Structure 1
Amino acid sequence: MNIQPLALSFLAATAIGGLAWVFVYPLLSGEKKAEARRASVARPEPSGRPIDKNQRSRREQVEGSLKDLEARRLKEKKIPLSSRLTQAGLSWTPQKFMIISGVLAAVAFAIAMLFKGGLIGAVGLAFAAGFGLPRWMLSYLKKRREAKFLKALPDAVDVIVRGIKAGLPLFESIKVVAADAPEPLKSEFLAIIETQAIGMPLGEACARLFERMPVPEANFFGIVIAIQQKSGGNLSEALGNLSKVLRDRKKMAEKIQAMSMEAKASAGIIGSLPPIVMLLVYLSTPQYISLLWTHPTGQLMLVGCVIWMSIGIFVMKRMINFDF
């Protein structure tokens, strides 16, 4: 059987899908409107009122601190593997992670070849087990660690506020949090203490918290401390306001999660139907469906189905994933 027309049709469908994803999806998803709205909000408006020199100096210090933090964040946007392992709470080296990934790929390839899955299927399974699975586990561990951090951060900020109001210095209040807070908040605040102990200013040490825990709440905390260290002000009031913001963001996240559970359940059912139907057909009539991984045409169709299913799952995930 000549599979050249099928291959050409598959490549043409892939090209059309890619073009639609690049040019049509941003229009349908509202990304361009969101970018325009963010640009309009960020645009400064002229003011006719005179600005006092002290206010101008304080504003310039605040703007300078924000620009420095944003520049550092953009510069380190591409996160190396060692930092990703640290963010996931693992003490592995990148070499150990790569070795484990290679072992998983080899095991998956051997299992696929043992069960006569074909060379294409074995390569695809090895790629998924050696490249996709370890990185998915890193992402899962990172999100779980961030959730635990965000759950304990508002209480830690309240402890710091009460310590400052009681007369303790900021550094001593951070030590109290590092001694009594649960993980991973305890280890992150211990890292702040250790970084400050070797001579780094406390504001910069707190700002580096965002590098190890890349969530907006950690960035807020670092910005508040860095600005207060440079320009002064009522730190207890600023941290009290930050604690209120953190709790409001937590409530908003829980509300969004509750409102989006129906869409997530629907997406999970739709995404799991094809594999479940394939498994049931294999259990009932294995010789009927085994052509998908034993015949070259079936293997090509199976690869195309996996690609389109992956695109569909990615689109559904983007539709039900809300950023705020």
Structure 2
Amino acid sequence: MEVAPIDALIVGMVFLTVFLLLIGLQGRKLRAERPLEERLTHLGLRSGPVSGDGNDEELRSREALKKALKELEALQKSEGRSYLRHLLKSSGVGRSLAVHVGISVIVAILVFAISLLLNLNLILSFALAILLGGWLPILQLKMAVNRRMRLFVDDMPGALDLVVRGIRAGLPLLECLKLTASEWRDPLRSEFLQIINDMGIGLTIKEAIARFAERVPLQEARLFAIVIAIQAQSGGNLSEVLTNLAELLRERSKLQAKIKAMTSEARTSAWIIGSIPVLLIGAVSVFSPGFLAPLFDTAFGNVILGVCGGWMALGMLVMTSMMKVDL
């Protein structure tokens, strides 16, 4: 059965819509999190109304806090404008944007060639090539970022405790960071060493920590940057605030573990439901080899396979998004 031009156009528009939707899901910013003011209150960076005594010091602290928050907001906006570059930087894979684009092109060519070898429709092959060529490399980067950030969150509380002990022993912050970097694994070690290297080429501690917050897409890393920025600008009890931040990270990790346990059944169900069509196709192909041949040998069958595959992928993305919980 031949596919009419209007049908081919509809199929192309369907796949283009799915492709743009996937890119939009991948490229959106982090979901809105709790207000920074609430986090800063928990960390002991906020206080009540300014009293008559010590007005100058209190005003300086508040001005430093406002300035740090504005800088953080500007940083988040810049990340939203260059999501792919930020993802490459945060993944730690050492891949440039040009290399990433080249990998996407290679993946698209391979998918297109395999689709043609499987005698799939030309339009379907082209749509699959664009879809998988753009999505798979980004998926690999996101997996690398998630793996790296899990290690970072696991190590950050202990590293902050070591920094606090060094500060209370009278060591400067830079020496505390060097000591912590020598005792911990990657990625925390490499990030702290990068802070030290940035300061070695002339950056201030505030600028070096700001770069650190840009490389590490975690709210806790940004709060760490704010703490250091305020301390560098107006002084304060850095050890107490870092202790509060370390405790906050521990509590957050415990809550994440509870959420993961509570959603494990839903994740398993999603994998089972998603694998059923593939298993059924495999079973039918084994026990009745020619039964599904029209789906693979005809243009209209290819259209059906492509549309169903696109909707399955979209459904899996929706289910995955529903199971995510922002803390």
- CA-CA distance at 1:276 after TM superposition: 1.8
Task: Name the structure 1 match of 2:290.
Answer: 287
TM-score (norm 1): 0.83
Q: How does 1:57-206 map to 2 (within 5 A)?
A: 57-79=60-82, 81-206=84-209
Deviations 1:133-189 (A, max 9, x none): 111111111111111111111111011000011110111000111222101111100
Q: Do the aligned residues in 2 keep the contact of 1:120 with 1:299 (CA within 8 Å)? A: no
Partner Cα distance (1:242, 1:300) in 2: 54
Task: Name the structure 2 match of 1:255.
Answer: 258
> Which amino acid letter does the alignment assign opposite residue 253 of structure 1?
Q
- CA-CA distance at 1:196 after TM superposition: 1.1
Deviations 1:56-100 (A, max 9, x none): 332222122112211222133233544422321112222222223
Deviations 1:243-287 (A, max 9, x none): 111111111111111111111111111122122212222222232
Q: How does 1:202-221 map to 2 (within 5 A)?
A: 202-221=205-224
> Which amino acid letter does the alignment assign opposite residue 184 of structure 1?
P
- Give the 3 Å change call, closer, same or farther, for CA 322–50 of structure 1 in structure 2: closer
Task: Name the structure 1 match of 2:318.
Answer: 315
- Give the 3 Å change call, closer, same or farther, for CA 64–214 of structure 1 in structure 2: same
Task: Name the structure 2 match of 1:227.
Answer: 230
Partner Cα distance (2:298, 2:230) in 1: 65
Number of residue pairs aligned between Structure 1 and Structure 2: 301
Q: Do the aligned residues in 2 keep the contact of 1:105 with 1:127 (CA within 8 Å)? A: yes
- Give the 3 Å change call, closer, same or farther, for CA 81–320 of structure 1 in structure 2: closer
- CA-CA distance at 1:316 after TM superposition: 0.9
Match of 2:291, SS state, is: helix
Match of 1:248, SS state, is: helix
> Which amino acid letter does the alignment assign opposite residue 295 of structure 1?
T
> Which amino acid letter does the alignment assign opposite residue 306 of structure 1?
G
> Which amino acid letter does the alignment assign opposite residue 162 of structure 2?
V
Q: Do the aligned residues in 2 keep the contact of 1:121 with 1:299 (CA within 8 Å)? A: yes
Partner Cα distance (1:280, 1:228) in 2: 64
- CA-CA distance at 1:7 after TM superposition: 4.4
> Which amino acid letter does the alignment assign opposite residue 305 of structure 1?
C
Partner Cα distance (2:154, 2:81) in 1: 27
Task: Name the structure 2 match of 1:245.
Answer: 248
> Which amino acid letter does the alignment assign opposite residue 228 of structure 1?
Q
Deviations 1:185-234 (A, max 9, x none): 11100110011112211122112212111111211211111111112111
Q: Do the aligned residues in 2 keep the contact of 1:106 with 1:126 (CA within 8 Å)? A: yes
TM-score (norm 2): 0.82
- CA-CA distance at 1:3 after TM superposition: 5.9
- CA-CA distance at 1:307 after TM superposition: 2.3
Q: Percent identity between the aligned chains? A: 38
RMSD: 3.2
Match of 2:80, SS state, is: coil
Match of 2:178, SS state, is: helix
Q: Do the aligned residues in 1 keep the contact of 2:163 with 2:176 (CA within 8 Å)? A: yes
Q: Do the aligned residues in 2 keep the contact of 1:121 with 1:293 (CA within 8 Å)? A: no
Match of 1:208, SS state, is: helix
Partner Cα distance (1:266, 1:138) in 2: 25
Partner Cα distance (1:258, 1:173) in 2: 36
> Which amino acid letter does the alignment assign opposite residue 157 of structure 1?
L
Deviations 1:94-130 (A, max 9, x none): 2222223222222222222223223234223423442
Q: Do the aligned residues in 2 keep the contact of 1:62 with 1:231 (CA within 8 Å)? A: no
Task: Name the structure 2 match of 1:24.
Answer: none
- Give the 3 Å change call, closer, same or farther, for CA 292–6 of structure 1 in structure 2: farther
